Structure 1
Amino acid sequence: MREWWLQVGLLTVPLIAVYLHIPPPKLSPALQSWRSSGSYFTFQNRNIFYRDASGAVGSSDIVVLLHGFPTSSYDWCKIWEGLTQRFNRVIALDFVGFGFSDKPRPHQYSIFEQASIVEGLLDHLGLLNQRVNLLSHDYGDTVAQELLHRYEHNTTGSVLINSLCLSNGGIFPETHHPRLIQTILKDGGLLSPIITRLSNYFFFARGLAAVFGPYTQPSDAEYWDMWTAVRTNDGNLVIDRASQELWDLGYPVSAPGPLLCVGLLQYINQRRKHRDRWVGALQSTSVPLHLIYGPLDPVNPHPEFLQLYKQVLPMSTVSVLDDHISHYPQLEDPLGFLNSYLNFINSF
């Protein structure tokens, strides 16, 4: 019996070793075209991917797109052309740790750093002194809230915000319901590194399918593109290791701190820690606010989320999409999403 288990072990070890070193999947033609149309700039020795498209000649308006977790700027592909017909410039980036941007390990990933990267990109493009419209989703909503806080407090080098449109993000920690796998990875422990290293397309697609509506599921090719963007530069390995210790010890983002890797999912804990700062920015601003909401969203469920949003932010306008639209409205209903956004932009 012992010899049998020994043989199984000897066979399993090299198989796992091979599996863990499988190269990332090749880019599809569509994803390759997206990357080829973009560029990189350097922020604190990290390469950050972005796209900057010239659009409508008769407009001077600029829109900056902030994507969600765990995907990338490619989330905006279905409304990209429509935006270029209205805005003079359409700009999107992959946050550090996402998409085609660098995914360092170890690294203290934080919303504060992502906001500084947006500022750095606009400075790189010579747009830091021009007003821009922010359009955000999910994780990007929280980055937008930090940018709004800096703008309202006249922080040096802050983005000049002309308007802000949020969509299906965990704006309020008390109404945010992360998926089970997010909770496991966020809280660290023995399972986190195992799950991230053994993750594959099948588990990724099944997990992401839960936040799309039953009638608006992406195609297999679209799921594969999302997975490819995650796997680029071993992005699946920076999601976990979300050590709470840095925050419990009170280390700010810029402090040297212990040599721990704070994974991307740490943003969930950051939302709780900095709720007053980020919700307060929305409550006190005079910037035009709008929300585009997919009501079938299990992460920010209806009516709980929407009732609180209208109660806390009565000055904001709201577009509620069809009942079958869920957490990724710009992908599930691109036309409805685009029309809602353009109606908001054209209203002021």
Structure 2
Amino acid sequence: MNRADWIAGGAMVELNGHRLFVRQDGAGSPVTLVHGFPTSSHDWAMTVPYLVAAGCEVTTLDLLGFGQSDKPRRHRYSIHEQADLVEAVWRHLGTGETALVAHDYGVSVAQELMARDPGRLTRTALLNGGLYADLHRPIPVQRLLHGRMGPLLARLTDEKRFTASLRSVLAQPVPDELLHDMWVSLARERGHHLAPRLLRYIDDRRVHFHRWTGALEQYEGPLLFVWGPEDPVSGAHVLSRLRRRRPGAAFTVLAGVGHYPQVEAPEETAGALAGFLAGG
């Protein structure tokens, strides 16, 4: 599904003083999908049909500062606020207990939600992300954007530079059209200028390391990791610790896949998630 069709299937909802893009598909057991940095809920477009077919009611949203949602300029973005907004979406939709699936930046949002109310999360599936701050290996452009020169570099970013950076974390070929849709979503309302502010999540992970690590390691619900081991940011080196710390969890390791399992290996990823969410 292309970006335009994806957007047409959702709506803008005002929550906590911000307008967020929210979409729901299917009927049945609730599941919420949380995307990563620097993209949007459209990352899940190839996943959602499988989950709907598995009997899920699927909620997706663009986090604040991403995709179609508001992109306030001088805002102090934080993982805690993003978690507040996910909870606000749940209140708006009348969602009670729900399964949760998260990728990249979204795994930190998921860890904060796990810390707040783990009993609300019936099942949790996590895809390549910095679950342990000390193992996070941002690519060079992210380190630069997170530094003093970040605002200038963000303004110099164009589609060519964005595409090159994104391909550096992928291990499988991805269609140019999909990468273009990612850029258009990012660049809407000059959203790429916000990268230095959004990258403060790196600091959030360090500050809240013990809270979020504890939430992950103490979570008692069914837990699945869907992982691309060729990811230079959060790949095999994270996977090895997860196997030690969460030996009872389920693992789907996608050989030859990098940072975006749901984009690089959409059928395998969606199949693993559908089986897990159906109780398999």
Of structures 1 and 2, the larger Rg is shown by: 1
Q: TM-score, normalised by structure 2?
A: 0.96
- Looking at structure 2, the residues matched to 330 and 311 of structure 1 have their Cα atoms a distance apart, in angstroms, of 24
Contact 2:258 2:264 in 1 (8 A): yes
In 2: Cα distance, 1:290 partner to 1:77 partner: 20
Q: Residue 128 of structure 2 corresponds to which residue in structure 1?
A: 168
Could you tell me which residue of structure 2 aligns to residue 139 of structure 1?
Answer: 105
Match of 2:177 among 211, 216, 221: 221
**CA distance in 2 between partners of 1:286 and 1:314 (Å):** 12
C-alpha separation between the residues in 2 aligned to 1:230 and 1:283? 33
The residue identity in structure 1 corresponding to 2:60 is A
Distance change >3 Å, CA 267–CA 276, structure 1 → 2:
same
Contact 1:41–1:47 (CA<8 Å) still a contact in 2? yes
Counterpart check, 1:337 vs 2:277: no
State the 1:220 CA deviation.
Answer: 1.6
Q: Say which of 212, 218, 228 aligns to 2:170.
A: 212
Distance (whole Å) between structure 1 residues aligned to residue 248 and residue 146 of structure 2: 33
Unaligned runs of 5+ in 1: 1-28, 155-159, 241-262
User: What whole-Å deviation, never above 9, does each CA across 1:27-78 have from its counterpart, x for those lacking one?
Assistant: xx921111111011112221000111124xxxx3111000011000000011
Structure 1 counterpart of 2:238: 305
- Give the counterpart of 1:295 among 226, 229, 232: 229
- Paired-residue identity, %: 35
2:116 to 150, 157, 175: 150
Q: Distance in 2 between matches of 1:306 and 1:54?
A: 32
Aligned to 2:207: 273
Contact 2:235 2:259 in 1 (8 A): no
CA deviations over 1:290-338 (Å, ceiling 9, x no partner): 1001111110132x2111111122222211112x111100011111111
Please state how far the C-alpha of 1:218 moved relative to its aligned partner.
1.7
- Whole-angstrom CA distance in 2 between matches of 1:163 and 1:116: 19
Shift of 1:100: 0.3
Q: Is the 8 A contact 1:63 1:87 kept in 2?
A: no
Provide the C-alpha distance between the structure 1 equivalents of 2:153 and 2:87, rounded to a whole number of angstroms: 34
User: Which structure 2 residues correspond to residues 245-264 of structure 1 after superposition, within 5 A?
Assistant: 263-264=197-198
Contact kept, 8 Å, 1:100 with 1:233, in 2: the verdict is: no
1:62-81 correspondence runs (5 A): 62-81=30-49
After TM superposition, list the pairs within 5 Å mapping 1:21-170 onto structure 2. 30-55=2-27, 60-127=28-95, 130-152=96-118, 160-170=120-130
Q: CA deviation at 1:87?
A: 2.9
The aligned amino acid for 1:306 is L
Cα gap change, 1:46 to 1:66, in 2 (>3 Å): same
**Is 1:231 paired with 2:187?**
yes
Q: Which of 121, 136, 154 matches 1:196?
A: 154
SS at match of 1:71: coil
Moved over 4 A (4+): none
Q: 1:328 aligns with which of 260, 264, 275?
A: 260
Query: Does 1:185 pair with 2:118?
Result: no
TM-score, reference length from structure 1: 0.78
Assess if the C-alpha contact under 8 Å between 2:262 and 2:270 holds in 1: yes
The code of the aligned residue for 1:312 comes to R
Higher relative contact order (CA 8 A, sep 6+): 2
SS in 2 for 1:286: coil
Structure 2 stretches lacking a partner, 5+ long? none
Distance in 2 of aligned mates of 1:83 and 1:345: 8
Asked if structure 2 preserves the Cα contact closer than 8 Å seen for 1:62 and 1:87, the reply is no
Count of aligned residue pairs for this structure pair: 280
